[in-house]
A and B are shown apart, each in its own frame.
Chain A
Amino acid sequence: MRWTAAKVGFIAGVGAVLGQAIFKVIPPPAYGICIACHVRDLVNWMMVKLFPGFYGGKFPGGPVSKNFPLLTIVGVVIGAFLAAKLNNEFRWKTMRVAWQRPWMEFIWGMLVCIGALTMGGCPIRTALKTAYLDITAAVALLSILIGVFLGCILIKRLVKIT
């Protein structure tokens, strides 16, 4: 079966709703699938375990992750790794383009996470919240589009130079 992005997106949507409806991935609502929030939950859970006073005694994360963090991201990495290995697409590589070198990517990673937590989720969860009829999330989704548009302008300039 040819896995197209449309089919996988659909499955992700179904999975996210089932998570909240049947498998108790709540509170907070609309939390079934999110890269940024669940990474945040996992990291903060570990930080609180290792350094109990780090956040002043509070747990900054989804309440559902308080006792044991959601392991979405672990599943994603293992699943993707398996898919790559089984299809012979796994290869250690470093990107050649100047703004995709590891040091730059480290900075992009930080900024994207900060931006994502500011707006309340990662792009996937923002889409989920929009489907949950959250108007603020719809505004956030449009802002992502604007940000992408600005980024594309910059990319076009940078590619002309290289």
Chain B
Amino acid sequence: MGERYTLDVCGEVCPVPVVKTKAVLDKMKAGDVLEVMVDYAPSKENVRRLAEHKGFKVKVEEGAKTKLIIEK
């Protein structure tokens, strides 16, 4: 079982969510999980695209604040 990171980027607009997410993704190892909370649709799409592009697995939990669960 790996590390669990959380990132809250609600209220932040590109490029901030993506830059912060990338910083965490770059130091994640296999088995680590990152939870990102977004409340802005483009942020959700950008973060998801970034993670999938880097080969991570992404699960999306919709809600008032959408949660993206990213796993290496």
Contacts and interface: CB of A to CB of B under 8 A. Distances in A.
Are A and B direct contacts in the complex by CB distance below 8 Å? Answer: yes
Interface in B11-44: 11-13, 15-16, 19-20, 23, 40-41
B19 A159 contact: yes
Contacts of B15: 152, 155
Contacts, number: 25
Contact of B11 (A89, A93, A156): A93
A95 B12 contact: yes
Interface string B1-19: 0000000001111011001
Chain B at the A interface: SS class: loop
B12 A96 contact: yes
* Size class of the contact patch on chain B: 10 to 19
A156 B19 contact: yes
A100 B20 contact: no
Contacts of A95: 11-13
A11 interface: no
A50 interface: no
A8 interface: no
Interface of A: 89, 93-97, 100, 152, 155-156, 159
Interface of B: 10-13, 15-16, 19-20, 23, 40-41
15 contacts: A89-B41, A93-B11, A93-B40, A94-B11, A95-B12, A96-B11, A97-B12, A97-B13, A100-B13, A152-B15, A155-B15, A156-B19, A159-B16, A159-B19, A159-B20
